[in-house]
Structure 1
Amino acid sequence: MLRVLVTGAAGLIGGEVCARLVARGHRVTALVRRNPDVRGNDGALVTGITVVRGDVTRPLMGLDPDPQDVVIHCAAHLDFDAPEVELHAVNVAGTQNAIDYARAAGARFLHVSTAYVCGDGDGVISETPVPEGTRFTNRYEASKAAGELVVAASGLPFAIARPSIVLGDSATGRIRDFPSLCNVFRLMARGKVTRFPAARNATFDLVPIDHVAAALVALAERMEAVAGGYFHLVGAQAMPVAELAHGVARVAHFPNPAIVLPQDYVPEGPLAQRMVATFGPYLTRNPRFADSALRRATGLRCPPTDRAWLDRLIAYGIARGYLPLPPV
């Protein structure tokens, strides 16, 4: 049994990680800020845990340190467009506060970053520290890369886990909270975006929540063996960006968005403008994230992230009422 403190425990990843840790017999302390409910991806409250209120922007996260074996640091500011000072307060200074707590608690440190600290990198992206001189496409990426540097310089036994774009369960498509990328599906399904920009070879790396949570638990249970490692928690295969529009087009009651090259795209309104402002750099690149280090360390392989999975994600969004229902 491990004693594990999970920050960001009310979030999508943190909640599912807490549920899986408890199921494996570990003693879990769940750090929340405002929302006291810790729920797994199935939406059920996680029981058998200790919920504490804290704030990663405060020294020691506002807690009196309790002995822990591992701190899993999931808490993060996820808004690409947030002011730099806000992102730094949570993703960099907040990471330092979590490290200081882990040191006082005698814990190893498992840091949840993002695969997209690769910035504008294309081609094969290795499971190594972010190269000096990397050009980031938004302030969020830059803040997460800076957070990794804080972890690496901490002197604690650490591992860095880098999920890509986290979506629904591999088998069912279920997701407790729809992340920002799902708004792209929503805009196309509602006919607000009828022309979708995508470079010919551009890909998204989309990963099911169950693979991410299973990998984080597996790394937490192997912290002595994986110390100092960087691990990509990514899809089995990258998905062509154009496949997002194709997935919408396969639903009978949705429109059929036309795919155009980014240089030929003219936004159709403020919502489409916001979509391009947020995701524009991701519509033109083809990073391919190596995950051999994760597979060697844990034996885990991501389930297929293919067209059938995308169809399950869209079907779940319709069933939940997030995407438009068929006309009566």
Structure 2
Amino acid sequence: MPQKRSVLLLTGGAGVLGRALVDELSRDFEIVCLRHRTPMNDPRVREIGADLLQPELGLPQGDFERLAAEVDLVVHCAAATNWKTEPDSIRRANLGGTAGMLDLCVRAGAPMYHMSTAFVANPLAPEERERFPGAAAYLASKTEAEQLVRDAPVPGVILRPSVVMGDSVTGRIAGVQGLTRVLAAIVKGQVPVVPGSPDVRIDMVPQDVIAGAVGDLVRGGVTDGEYWLTAGAHSLLQREVVDACLEFAELYGPRPHPPRLVPLESVHRLLLPLIEGPTFPESLRRRFHTYAELLLVFQRALPFESSLGSPHCGSAPSKDALRQALVRNLAAWSTGPGGMRGRHRAQPSRAAVPMRSETTGTTETEELAS
């Protein structure tokens, strides 16, 4: 008689990491997904409509009690990540949602696996918080949510991924990520200036590599600790990312003029005050402001710590694999809406877009969308 599988409750299942986690975990667990608006329509999961900000998740009391009685562990991925949202809404969603899931964990006696972000290590200066209130609210709320997990009376694991790339085999991703717009614009030659110096690091990890590490932790019975799901010392430098985008663009036509890489201190002191003035078109002002906000948060001079490759925490991608992965994701983006249709000149070779690595079992990728 087959052994009954443990019940894993997942929030944010319709998101990028949520879908990758369903792929990773559905073989070993019975997955229950809480959803608010977006249905998953995935036969591998059981969906329950809920509101994380309401007492007992907005469920009738009997339903909440039955859910708590059957849940064995919780993976909490749901979060407000749109920095254009009102800061108070971002804070309320990320703190209230975490508190609601911790309440369920307490009732269920279940450990919490909390998806935070590596960029809690990048606190913003006061003038940056004023200029970029959405990013500031996001980082502050994730930092405070981590503390809620530490203070809770149930076991908790804090997971800190960096920028999430597309799948390491297909290059696809479930939703458009902020940084992808910047890289797509570089490929199209639409970015004359990129905020940040050439040698800062852009830490990106494929969604299935992150999901694999989470799966290893869950299956390994790890129920405490903080894990950095990052490329760390292997992360690409900004100039390497830009070069890969320009080389990829040559498959479709002349190589775009390379953007000028401007240190962030010059961006804050000179470029942003200039562009925010009345002489620049509103569309240009919004675009550059978005790029500066994203890259302000996503850049690091020193590498993150990385837990990938440590016991029960997946595999560590190499720098070469990450660069090859970026090419594969560019290839996936190029065939989609807003990609390079109509500009086709050559297909990326198999050498440039490698298949699954024989050493790590993965080839890391970055999906781009317009």
* Partner of residue 74, structure 1: 77
**Does 1:157 find its partner at 2:163?**
no
Deviations 1:107-140 (CA, angstroms, capped at 9, x unpaired): 111100001110249xxxxxxxxxxxxxx97221
Bigger drift between 156-165 and 137-146 goes to: 137-146
Bigger drift between 53-62 and 260-269 goes to: 260-269
Q: Taking structure 1 as reference, are residues 209 and 60 closer, same or farther at Cα in structure 2, changes over 3 Å only?
A: same
CA distance in 2, matches of 1:299, 1:181: 25
**Does 1:194 find its partner at 2:192?**
yes
**Does 1:279 find its partner at 2:294?**
yes
Cα contact 1:28–1:49 (8 A) shared by 2:
yes
Aligned partner of residue 113 in structure 2, secondary structure: strand
* Partner of residue 180, structure 2: 182
Relative to the length of structure 1, the TM-score reads: 0.84
Aligned partner of residue 312 in structure 1, secondary structure: helix
* Partner of residue 353, structure 2: none
CA distance in 1, matches of 2:183, 2:291: 13
Structure 1 residue 271, shift from structure 2 partner:
4.1
CA distance in 2, matches of 1:186, 1:303: 23
- After superposition, residues 83-122 of structure 1 pair within 5 angstroms as 83-120=86-123
Aligned partner of residue 181 in structure 1, secondary structure: helix
Q: Taking structure 1 as reference, are residues 271 and 164 closer, same or farther at Cα in structure 2, changes over 3 Å only?
A: same
Cα contact 2:309–2:316 (8 A) shared by 1:
no
Cα contact 1:109–1:157 (8 A) shared by 2:
yes
Match of 1:249 among 242, 246, 249: 246
CA distance in 2, matches of 1:283, 1:165: 7
Q: Taking structure 1 as reference, are residues 6 and 316 closer, same or farther at Cα in structure 2, changes over 3 Å only?
A: same
**Does 1:298 find its partner at 2:312?**
yes
The structure with more radius of gyration: 2
Match of 1:9 among 9, 13, 24: 13
Match of 1:307 among 300, 323, 335: 323
Structure 1 residue 81, shift from structure 2 partner:
4.1
Q: Report the AA paired with residue 60 of structure 1.
A: E
Structure 1 residue 100, shift from structure 2 partner:
0.3
Work out the number of aligned pairs and report it: 303
Q: Taking structure 1 as reference, are residues 101 and 301 closer, same or farther at Cα in structure 2, changes over 3 Å only?
A: same
CA distance in 1, matches of 2:167, 2:328: 9
* Partner of residue 131, structure 1: none
Q: Report the AA paired with residue 235 of structure 2.
A: A
Q: Taking structure 1 as reference, are residues 8 and 204 closer, same or farther at Cα in structure 2, changes over 3 Å only?
A: same
Q: Taking structure 1 as reference, are residues 280 and 28 closer, same or farther at Cα in structure 2, changes over 3 Å only?
A: closer
Aligned partner of residue 260 in structure 1, secondary structure: strand
CA distance in 1, matches of 2:213, 2:199: 29
Structure 1 residue 326, shift from structure 2 partner:
4.6
Identity %: 26
Structure 1 residue 61, shift from structure 2 partner:
1.9
Structure 2's unaligned 5+ residue stretches are 125-133, 345-370
Bigger drift between 233-242 and 267-276 goes to: 267-276
Aligned partner of residue 31 in structure 1, secondary structure: strand
Q: Taking structure 1 as reference, are residues 137 and 118 closer, same or farther at Cα in structure 2, changes over 3 Å only?
A: farther
Deviations 1:221-260 (CA, angstroms, capped at 9, x unpaired): 234xx33200011126111122332122112136233233
* Partner of residue 19, structure 1: 23
CA distance in 1, matches of 2:94, 2:48: 20
Relative to the length of structure 2, the TM-score reads: 0.75
Match of 1:211 among 209, 216, 240: 209
Match of 2:337 among 307, 316, 321: 321
CA distance in 2, matches of 1:20, 1:97: 25
CA distance in 1, matches of 2:211, 2:322: 19
* Partner of residue 133, structure 1: none
Higher relative helix content: 2
Aligned partner of residue 112 in structure 2, secondary structure: strand
Cα contact 1:198–1:283 (8 A) shared by 2:
no
Aligned partner of residue 176 in structure 2, secondary structure: coil
